[in-house]
Chains A and B, each alone.
Chain A
Amino acid sequence: MDRATAIEELPPLHAVAVRLRDEGADNHVIAVALAIDDDQVPTLLEIADAKLTNLIAGRGA
């Protein structure tokens, strides 16, 4: 699976966070967009990246 397709397969919150980051948004912008606190963004992106890696490698769901 390529990265673009894998992003589409993420849960919506994670997908939006990844897309915003890819477009250069900082954590605060991402937090505002997702209505979460700034300190939650790094963890969200870390988990999103892990999900992407697994999707691309064909692991998991």
Chain B
Amino acid sequence: MAERDPAPPRWAGDPHDWPLVGRDEELEFLRVARCRRPPASIVVSGLAGVGKSRLGSTALEAARADGWGVFRVCASAGLKGVAFAPFRTAVALPATSDLGELAAALDEALSLLRGANGLMLLVDDGHDLDDASAGFVHHLAVVGSAVALVTLRSGADRPGALTALWKDGLAERIELEGLSRRETNQLVTSVLGATVEAATIERIWQLTDGNPLYVREVLLSAHETGALRSSDGIWCWRGAFTTGVRLQEIVAERIGRLDPDELSAVELLSVARSLSLEVLASLTGATSLERLESRALVVVERSGRRVEVSLAHPLYGEVLRAGMPALRAQSTRRLLTSALERTGALRSGDRVNLALWALDGDIEVDPVTLTQVADVVLWHPGQEISDRLEDILAGTIARSRPQERSISQGDPTVAVRLARAGYTSTGSVAAGAVLATTLCWAGETAEAAQVLTELQAAAPTSDDRVRLAVALGEVTFWGEHRHEDAIALLSDAVAQASSVTDPALLAALTEKLAGYELNTTRPGEALAHAERAAALVGEDLALSFAAPSAAASLAHLGRCAEALELIDQALPAAVERGRHSMEVPQLLFARTGALSRAGRLEEARELAENCQQVALSVDSRDGTALFGVSMAEAMLRQGRPASAGRLFRDAVGLFQERDVFGYLPWALAGLSRARALLGDEDGATRALDDADRAATGTRYFDVWRFDAQSAIHRLAGRESDALESARLGADWARRARMPVEEAMLVHAQVLVAPTAGTVDRLQELTNLTDSNFVALLARHADGAYRSDPAALLASAEGLAVCPARFAAAEAAAAAAEIYERRHLAKGARTAARIALEHLAHCEGARSPLLDRLVVPAGLTKREFEVATLASVGHSSKEIGARLHLSTRTVDSHLYRAYTKLGVTGRAELTAALRARSGPGHPSHSGDSAGPGITGRHDLSRNY
């Protein structure tokens, strides 16, 4: 349950208490520069708030610690006319106006401050220095009596003497830019003191461009409005962003004074987000744009043949819009509308703008356009993925600098506004169907059903009735989760569609049926419908709009190679069709599933990650969650439960906000499996209970609830229950004709107790699917059943290639046990070493089999757990908090562990555990956050 953090945020204090993140390399550069012979001065340029002063202060303190004398001055715009103004606050200068005398006095005063290695002078806000001070700083650099570190704000006018510093070769220049996504994540996570959802980090980074000052203000604003909240230890942002007063003041100060043309230009850009140079220059004049560019308030970029102008920072637009009076905003929109209509060649973003301005009553727009634009807005994330397909497949997603996105593209609520306006004006079936679809995506299911009911009564033609049936099917299946009713509804519509004039409509209806059958565990029927849909429009299946359903069905049926081949053919055709849809993302989602089932796990993970990056960049929460789940599934099979768990947890948070596809149970079941793999029985059980409560009818991912239940039983030592859950899951998957999933559940039984039946079934499944993963699981089962350690090690080797490292570890561990039983010590040691090497990559995953390998003989699991935490520096109180034990109980476990290990205290514990444990134990790395069984230490921190 989400709750607002009741305590005042600890970052509300001095921003200098915030950690300095992402500047290590710059600090090292500064240190090396001052240590050169002769030492080099440095000029640090950057936008306001990017951290120049903080960098300077930190570098100054480092110099002081190295034996340098230090001195700091801060210039002020108001005192630019006063010679040596910044120095006068700290140095008593003679009462003279002779600049030479003043400089000499200052020189003498500073010479007294020299340290053993020299003097470093920090000049903050050098662009506001008076000329005399600037000349003095230049003089110091020339004669070498001090190393100057000068910060300058980009775009601001500066004294010529400072420019001469680098022109004359006296100083190097650093351009300090905003933090990267990764660094922003580190900063925000550190400040908030807990994990932050990936979509929230992306949003913060996109809004702030990694500017630390803006990050702070955005966090404060979001916290104050309640948009930023902590849910189960994860910070997430829900709802719109509202600029706080403080942020508005900061940005206003940054923008500074503008003449009327400049003000007009920035206001136009704040409303339109971006404009072609041609249009903007026609409205404001080129000269004002040049001035704005030189002040780093706008950026000009070429995009194909167009030259686009936008505000230099995403927040400028937010603040300008928030502060714009209503009448001014209206006149601005009218001005833009005239200009855009004059050019005639409207971009997609321009059409969306015009449509939304029409809703605000500023202009007249054809209501059919409103409906069309609603479609554009709704499917924007799909179009974005389609546009960036080449980068996604090549893994070259360019991390472009954040710019303000077009108005809420991909936001279903915006699409609803547009669609409602279009339908209200026309009342047409087509407009009503679009409205119903957008309402369904926005979660307004009841209204969607109402709209369709109204239209059905008045549907004049067969084509209209089919159109409505498609829309009603979507609402019934996805919105109301009445899966069988949706299938029946569409099947009836197909049966009665003999008089339909447009075969494409009938094909659309049939294709929808394919999707519903697939999602309700009937992939064979789904494939048949997809093939029929393509035939209805005379298209090759691979080149038709039904390819996504067909490909996904093939993957579910374990025909992975066919699925992948179909997708490869279908993608270019889908891109060329170009209509706003989810075809390309659906094909990519099917591709991740096919790759995962085939055992090509790293390819699956990487593809899902690339798709998620694009979804994140356009703030598509549905896409972010969906591809997050896909990535997590691949990582879970790879044996990376901590990473997979974080992704599942993020997806749960997003699905809890809106779950168009009904995938929340899948994400929860995945979270349960990840937690079970990490040894968190309570957490796994909670997640599974939540998954059961969230379930809405039978869906293909229900199989994972059986897997989660089996894993929980196995973790708790309830082997017969584990077997039974896995058996039920395997039966379920067999009925659903999902051979890869069935193989995984049969394999789960093998891990507890291999039997002839499970081995035979896995061999049969090998013949039913082309999945290499299934073949490897079958080999493992065969080796386990025949107690053949060589076969087990061979299967481990094959699994490691997938890479399914945890499965490989278990296979090798089983081999080690067999060697051990046969008193073949060398074989046992080798197999154990292989198992532990794989386990070291598994982020703390564990199983009863591997626990036996890792835990020193004689210790109980709890004693081992407590001893391990103590060996890496945790106090008894901390251990108790992590493991939900009293301090006394922790001490009791520790005492028994000491006795069994033959040590007398914590100091000897590390060495004792190291001597008895495998390379995956933290005592080998000394890092409590390292891989191997230490992963469980991070549970409470991660999720």
Residues of chain A at the chain B interface (Cβ within 8 Å): 4, 8-15, 35-37, 39-40, 43-44, 46-47, 50-51, 54, 59-61
Tell whether, in the assembled complex, residue B180 and residue A61 are in contact, meaning their CB atoms are under 8 Å apart: yes
Please, which residue of chain A has its CB at the minimum distance from the CB of B397? A8
8 Å CB contact of A54 from B21, B24, B178, B399: B24
Q: Determine, out of B8-16, B167-175, B378-386, B548-556, the stretch whose residues face the partner at the interface.
A: B167-175
Q: Are B180 and A10 in contact (CB under 8 A)?
A: yes
The closest CB in chain A to the CB of B401 belongs to: A12
Cα A24 to Cα B166 in complex, Å, equals 26
**A9-B182, A51-B25 given as contacts; is B177 within 8 A of A43 (CB)?**
no
B284 contacts chain A at the CB level, 8 A cutoff: no
Interface residue B603 (Cβ < 8 Å from any Cβ of A): no
Give chain A nearest CB distance to B680 CB in angstroms.
Answer: 26
A36–B175 CB distance below 8 A: yes
CB of B561, distance to nearest CB on chain A (Å): 28
**B399 near A43 (CB under 8 angstroms)?**
no
Point out the residues of chain A lying under 8 angstroms from B181, CB to CB. Answer: 9
Contacts of B45 in A (CB 8 A): 40
A60 and B399 contacting across the interface, CB-CB below 8 Å: no
Report Cα–Cα, A13/B401, bound state, in Å.
8
Give CA–CA (A37, B166) in the complex, Å: 11
Chain B: minimal CB distance from A8 (Å): 6
The CA of A14 and the CA of B667, in the complex, are separated in Å by 36
Question: What residues on A are CB-neighbors of B401 within 8 Å?
Answer: 12-13
**Which one of A9, A10, A13, A43 lies within 8 Å of B173 (CB-CB)?**
A43
A29 to B: closest C-beta gap in Å: 15
**B26 interface neighbour in A39, A40, A47, Cβ under 8 Å:** A47
Which residues of the partner chain A approach B179 to less than 8 Å between Cβ atoms? Answer: 11
- Pick the contact of B175 from A40, A46, A61 — CB < 8 Å? A40
Please determine whether A11 and B175 come into contact, CB atoms closer than 8 angstroms: no
Could you tell me if A50 and B173 are in contact, using CB atoms closer than 8 angstroms? no
**What string of 1s and 0s marks CB contacts (under 8 Å) between B148-177 and chain A?**
000000000000000000100000111101
Residue of B at shortest CB range from A15? B399
**Is B174 within 8 A of A11, CB to CB?**
no
Most A CB atoms within 10 A — which of B29, B175, B185, B210?
B175
- Give, as a whole number of angstroms, the nearest-CB distance from A57 to chain B: 12
A21 to chain B, nearest CB (A): 16
The answer on a CB contact under 8 Å between A37 and B397 is no
B183 contacts chain A at the CB level, 8 A cutoff? yes
The complex places the Cα of A43 from the Cα of B25 at a distance, in Å, of 11
Shortest distance between the CB of A45 and any CB in chain B (Å) = 11
* Residues of chain A with a CB closer than 8 A to B175's CB: 13, 36, 40, 43-44
The CA-CA distance from A34 to B397 in the complex, in Å, is: 19
Q: Give me 28 A-to-B residue pairs in the complex whose CB atoms sit less than 8 angstroms apart, sorted by A's number.
A: A4-B395, A9-B182, A10-B180, A11-B178, A11-B179, A12-B177, A12-B180, A12-B400, A12-B401, A13-B175, A13-B401, A39-B166, A40-B45, A40-B173, A40-B174, A43-B172, A43-B175, A44-B174, A46-B29, A51-B25, A54-B25, A59-B24, A60-B22, A60-B25, A61-B22, A61-B182, A61-B183, A61-B185
Task: Assess whether B174 is in contact with A47, with CB atoms less than 8 Å apart.
Answer: yes
Known: A12-B399, A46-B29, A47-B26. A37 touches B173 (CB 8 A): yes
The closest CB in chain B to the CB of A44 belongs to: B175
Q: Which residues of B contact A12 (CB under 8 A)?
A: 177, 180, 399-401
Least Cβ–Cβ distance between A4 and chain B, in angstroms: 8
Is B366 interfacial (CB 8 A cutoff)? Answer: no
Measured between alpha carbons, how far is A43 from B173 in the docked complex, in Å? Answer: 7
CA distance A47 to B24 in the complex (A): 10
Q: Mark B340-369, 1 if CB is under 8 A from A, else 0.
A: 000000000000000000000000000000
CA of A59 to CA of B174 in the docked complex: distance in angstroms?
A: 22
